[in-house]
Amino acid sequence: MAKPTGRGIVRVARRPTGWIAPGPAPAGARGRPELEPESDEDLCFLTGDWRLFQKQDGHRWSLDDLVTAWIATRRIDPTRPLRALDLGCGLGSVLLMVAWKLPHAEVLGIEAQADRAAMGRRSIEYNGVAERCRIIDGDLREASEQLGRFELVTGTPPYFPRGTGTESAKPHAMPCRFEVRGGIEEYLEAAQRLLASGGEIVVCTSALERERVERAAHERELSVREHWDIVPREGKDVLVMVDVLTATAATAATHSLVVRDRASVWTADFQRVRDDMGIPATPPRPR
DSSP notation for 175-205: HHHB-TT--HHHHHHHHHHHEEEEEEEEEEE
DSSP H helices, the chain, are 63-73, 93-101, 114-127, 174-177, 184-194, 210-219, 268-276
Residue 181 has pLDDT above 60, yes or no: no
* Mean residue pLDDT across the chain: 91
The domain total for the chain is 1
pLDDT in tens, 227-267: 999 999 999 999 999 999 999 998 999 999 999 999 999 99
**CA triple 186-192-196, angle to 5 deg:** 150
- For β-strands 41-45 and 133-137, DSSP reports them as unpaired
With respect to residue 16, please indicate whether it lies within any of the assigned structural domains: no
Q: 174 falls in which pLDDT band (50, 70, 90)?
A: very low
Residue-wise over 97-112: b if at least 16 C-beta within 10 A, else e? bbbbbbeebbbbbbbb
With respect to residue 49, please indicate whether it lies within any of the assigned structural domains: no
With respect to residue 114, please indicate whether it lies within any of the assigned structural domains: yes
pLDDT at 177: 57
Residue 6 has pLDDT above 50, yes or no: yes
Residue 165 has pLDDT above 50, yes or no: no
For residue 170, which phi and psi values (nearest 5 degrees)?
-75, 120
CATH of residue 119's domain is: 3.40.50.150
**CA triple 230-234-236, angle to 5 deg:** 70
**CA triple 183-173-280, angle to 5 deg:** 95
With respect to residue 268, please indicate whether it lies within any of the assigned structural domains: yes
With respect to residue 53, please indicate whether it lies within any of the assigned structural domains: no
With respect to residue 271, please indicate whether it lies within any of the assigned structural domains: yes
d(CA 214, CA 105): 29
With respect to residue 19, please indicate whether it lies within any of the assigned structural domains: no
Instruction: Look up the domain containing 236 and give its range.
Output: 61-276
Per-residue DSSP letters for 26-59?
P---TT-GGGS--TTEEEEE-STT-EEEEESSS-
**CA triple 87-88-94, angle to 5 deg:** 75
For the chain, report the end-to-end CA distance as a whole number of angstroms: 12
pLDDT in tens, 63-89: 999 999 999 999 999 999 999 999 999
With respect to residue 282, please indicate whether it lies within any of the assigned structural domains: no
pLDDT at 167: 46
